[in-house]
Amino acid sequence: MKDLYLVYKNLTRKKMRLFLTTFAIFIAFLIFGAIMALRGALNSGVEMSADNRLVVVHKTNFTNPLPYSYVNKTQAIEGVKQVTHANWFGGYYQEPANQVVTFAVEPESYLAVYPELVIEPEQRKAWLNNQASILVGERIALANGWKVGDRIPLSSNIFSHKDGGQTWDFVIEGIFKGAEQKTDTSYLLFHYKYFKETQSWGGDSIGWLILTTEDASMNETVAKAIDNNFANSNAETDTSTEQAFNKAFIEQIGNIGLIIFGVVFMAFFTILIVVGNTMVLAIRERTAEIAVLKTLGFASIRIFKMVLIESCLLAFLGGLLGLGGAYLLIQGASENLARFLPNLVLDQNILLQALGYMLLLGLITGIAPAISALKLNIITAFNRG
């Protein structure tokens, strides 16, 4: 503790150098925080997938519909616990630009397959009993200022209403929350039966099936059995785990992992060189001072620690500021991108990872100058001076 003042004074002795180095680290951790939050948002669907949940889509393209009869046929397959289905509604609220993710579902089975959707019992009952009602996710309700009892018009950019037009009127009977912070609550659910009865075209078809297996170990067997069951039919299926399905969906954008690795690697590599070089120069400039400290009786190992503490402090100073910047950036962006990236947050894992990288950065950039300070010979240093 007694040496901290000395470390602090050394760190702040050249204000411009401190500012520039801190700024470089700030940028690196701003990028790290923002990119990791983006990755987390993109992967949240993958992370939150249940182990025993499978998704069945049309083999040709997942946007192609499946016959409704597949629901019962799939339920009959050994190892299948519960089947439900969903249709993409293509909804928007008031303006086409204001898209809201909306699914037409079979309410009871859907809630059974997705136990992470938490609803007040009265609201659940009200939604199940009222076909023309809608269940709204907490996040999207907050974003639009909706509450239970509100009437909202939802339009579809795909389907038409039997009565003409493309708008359906719904009453909000319930708002569901997520069992975990990362559970997606940025979408709406309404009755498939109501959808089928009120749409002008689309027939007796469903978008895709979601099912749970008796046990995750049966996933592969069940998936094969489903696909074999519908092989050589007009609508062959492709069954995969929910996790694999979500991952494949995200990777349509590109190899997110590789892109993120590339960006973060470049940022940190540059920082390593910049900060490492700064630390080496800073310690070299202080050769005579280190020799004086050693002459006064400061042990070499103590000076070694002081240099390492200094480089770590520098890394934490820039790093924490960068994370703070990333937090503000993410806060601002998450409000605007809530519909597309509902889980854009700087979570605890990112913070812990960033703290680990700060420590690593401090140690790596400080180790060479610390060793050179450790080994510095007093006589050689004074002769050099």
Interface with another protein (CB under 8 A), residue from 75, 300, 353, 372: 300
Q: Work out the number of other CB atoms within 10 angstroms of the CB of residue 209.
A: 24
Closest CB to another protein among residues 2, 121? 2
Identify residues 157-216 at the interface with another protein (CB under 8 A): none
Interface with another protein (CB under 8 A), residue from 142, 264, 274, 292: 292
For the chain, the first-to-last Cα distance in angstroms comes to 30
- Of 361, 371, 329, 364, the closest CA to residue 346 belongs to 329
Coil vs helix vs strand at 377: coil
- Listed in sequence order, the residues at least 6 apart from 198 whose beta carbon sits closer than 8 Å to its beta carbon are 161, 162, 163, 168
Closest CB to another protein among residues 97, 379? 379
In the complex, minimum distance from the CB of residue 6 to another protein, in angstroms, rounded to a whole number? 8
Interface with another protein (CB under 8 A), residue from 98, 129, 295, 349: 295
Choose the binding region for another protein from 139-147, 259-267, 293-301, 346-354 (rule: CB under 8 A): 293-301
Confirm or reject binding of residue 9 to another protein (CB under 8 A): yes
Can you point out the beta strands (E) in the chain?
53-58, 66-67, 80-88, 91-92, 99-105, 117-118, 133-137, 151-156, 167-178, 187-191, 205-206, 208-213, 237-241
Confirm or reject binding of residue 13 to another protein (CB under 8 A): yes
Interface with another protein (CB under 8 A), residue from 299, 336, 349, 356: 299
Interface with another protein (CB under 8 A), residue from 288, 335, 356, 384: 288
Expressed in percent and rounded to 5, the helix, strand and coil fractions of the chain are 55, 20, 25
Interface with another protein (CB under 8 A), residue from 87, 294, 313, 326: 294
Interface with another protein (CB under 8 A), residue from 80, 293, 307, 345: 293
Confirm or reject binding of residue 27 to another protein (CB under 8 A): no
**Identity of residue 140:** I
Closest CB to another protein among residues 254, 297? 297
Total residues binding another protein (CB under 8 A): 22
Confirm or reject binding of residue 333 to another protein (CB under 8 A): no
**Cβ 220 vs Cβ 158: under 8 Å:** no
Confirm or reject binding of residue 301 to another protein (CB under 8 A): yes
Q: Work out the number of other CB atoms within 10 angstroms of the CB of residue 261.
A: 13
Q: How many residues does the chain have?
A: 385
Confirm or reject binding of residue 256 to another protein (CB under 8 A): no
In the complex, minimum distance from the CB of residue 9 to another protein, in angstroms, rounded to a whole number? 4
Choose the binding region for another protein from 82-90, 105-113, 294-302, 327-335 (rule: CB under 8 A): 294-302
Q: How far apart are CA 230 and CA 208, in angstroms?
A: 14
In the complex, minimum distance from the CB of residue 357 to another protein, in angstroms, rounded to a whole number? 29
Identify residues 87-106 at the interface with another protein (CB under 8 A): none
Output the DSSP codes for 331-352.
HHHHHHSTTT-TT----HHHHH
Confirm or reject binding of residue 378 to another protein (CB under 8 A): yes
- Of 112, 50, 2, 383, the closest CA to residue 243 belongs to 50
**Identity of residue 56:** V
Q: Are strands 151-156 and 167-178 parallel, antiparallel or unpaired?
A: antiparallel
Closest CB to another protein among residues 227, 289? 289
In the complex, minimum distance from the CB of residue 373 to another protein, in angstroms, rounded to a whole number? 14
In the complex, minimum distance from the CB of residue 368 to another protein, in angstroms, rounded to a whole number? 21
Q: Which residues bind another protein (CB under 8 A)?
A: 2-3, 5-6, 9-10, 12-13, 288-289, 292-301, 378-379
